[in-house]
Amino acid sequence: MFLFGGLLCSQAFASGYNRLYAGPSVMRLTHFDYDQDLYLGGHLGYQRGINLTKDRIPLFLQLGAEAVYQTAEYSSDVPVFDLIFIDGRYHFMSVSIPVNVSYRLGKENFSVEPFLGMNFRGNIIGKLKYEDGSERDFFDSEDANRFQFGMNVGVGFNIYKFYVGYKFTPDLTLYESDFQFVYSDSKSSYHHFSLGFNF
């Protein structure tokens, strides 16, 4: 009954849309034998929604692009880095192409939009900058991956022209293997909290 009601109520805005969105992000880097590291930052993106059924039902293909930046302090007090005694800061930046399928349930002025899809990420920056001015570029190593493939799963809320959403993006390919010669098989995932505008 709820699904059928969603089909009827959503006809008024079943055509395609554009969306600009931004918000805070959390990157989680998980290692083989070490605790998870959290990196805080933000994201900015554009999305185009294309109706897959010629406006018969609100089923959309979502295509777009998204830039993500994270940073975190590095402390030489961390035991695994005891060979380096200089504090610093991590910097990560990537650009992604998300490809999702979404379905809208609700009315024209309010709707719920669950989605599921794939994510293609290109890592642009991955550095640890020390306070003495030196730095380590993770991509100088062949073990680091410039390109990653992952999944997208989340839900959004459309309130008139405004959008509020959450997305979880676990990468299925490794970020780096044998990280710092101590970590093994570093895997990344992202939590995105978005505010946007539909037009």
Tens-digit pLDDT profile for residues 32-55: 655 567 899 999 999 999 999 987
Average pLDDT value for residue range 148-169: 97
H/E stretch holding 185: none
CATH fold group of domain 2-198: Porin (2.40.160)
Q: Provide the 8-state DSSP code for 109.
A: T
pLDDT band at 81 (very low <50, low <70, confident <90, very high): very low
Q: Are 71 and 41 in contact (CB under 8 A)?
A: yes
pLDDT tops 60 at residue 31: yes
More confident residue, 148 or 145: 148
Q: 3-state secondary structure string, 14-44?
A: CCCEEEEEEEEEEEEEECCCCCCEEEEEEEE
Residues paired with residue 15 on neighbouring β-strands, in sequence order: none
